[in-house]
């Protein structure tokens, strides 16, 4: 009877140790997934910042060029600003839900990819 109690106690200790180890493994996998998603998002943000700086310089060049053609520099800036205004309005009304859903899907996909 005493041997059975020792075996049961050892089995219980092993089960507790297994649960603790499994819990730690889940925590580490979740941490890995979160860090991967954050790193991926930061990389994407850096890419978009570089694209934005490029677009600013291109827009300034086009604005100066159009302004020179039209006789006054500020006309070129007004034309470029109007173009971007129209683009923003169209994107806002036509693509707002699509962009929000796409960004949410992107984050969930990254997290699920790392967990599985």
Instruction: Please report, for residues 50, 59, 74, the alpha-carbon distance to residue 67 in angstroms, rounded to integers and kept in the order given.
Output: 26, 12, 6
41 pLDDT band, cuts 50/70/90, is: confident
Distance (Å, whole) CA 65 – CA 57: 12
pLDDT exceeds 90 at position 78: yes
Lookup result for tokens 């990389």: 43
CB atoms within 10 A of CB 95: 11
102 pLDDT band, cuts 50/70/90, is: confident
Q: Which domain holds residue 51?
A: 2-115
With beta carbons less than 8 A apart as the criterion, state whether 102 and 109 touch: no
**Position with higher pLDDT, 110 vs 86:** 86
Q: Which of 97, 65, 92, 94 is nearest to 80 (CA)?
A: 65
Check residue 32 and give its pLDDT: 82
Structure tokens at 114: 């790392």
Distance (Å, whole) CA 33 – CA 107: 10
Counting Cα atoms < 13 Å in the Cβ hemisphere of 5 gives 2
Please tell me the total count of domains within the chain: 1
């Amino acid at each position: 009877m005493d041997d059975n109690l020792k075996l049961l106690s050892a089995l219980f200790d092993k089960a507790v140790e297994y649960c603790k180890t499994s819990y730690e493994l889940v925590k580490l996998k979740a941490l890995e997934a979160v860090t991967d998603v954050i790193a991926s998002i930061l990389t994407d943000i850096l890419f978009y910042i570089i694209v934005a700086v490029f677009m600013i310089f291109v827009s300034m060049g086009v604005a100066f060029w159009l302004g020179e053609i039209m006789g006054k520099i500020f006309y070129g800036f007004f034309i470029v600003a109007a173009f971007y205004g129209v683009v923003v309005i169209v994107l806002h009304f036509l693509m707002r839900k699509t962009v929000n859903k796409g960004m949410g899907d992107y984050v969930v996909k990254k997290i699920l990819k790392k967990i599985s």
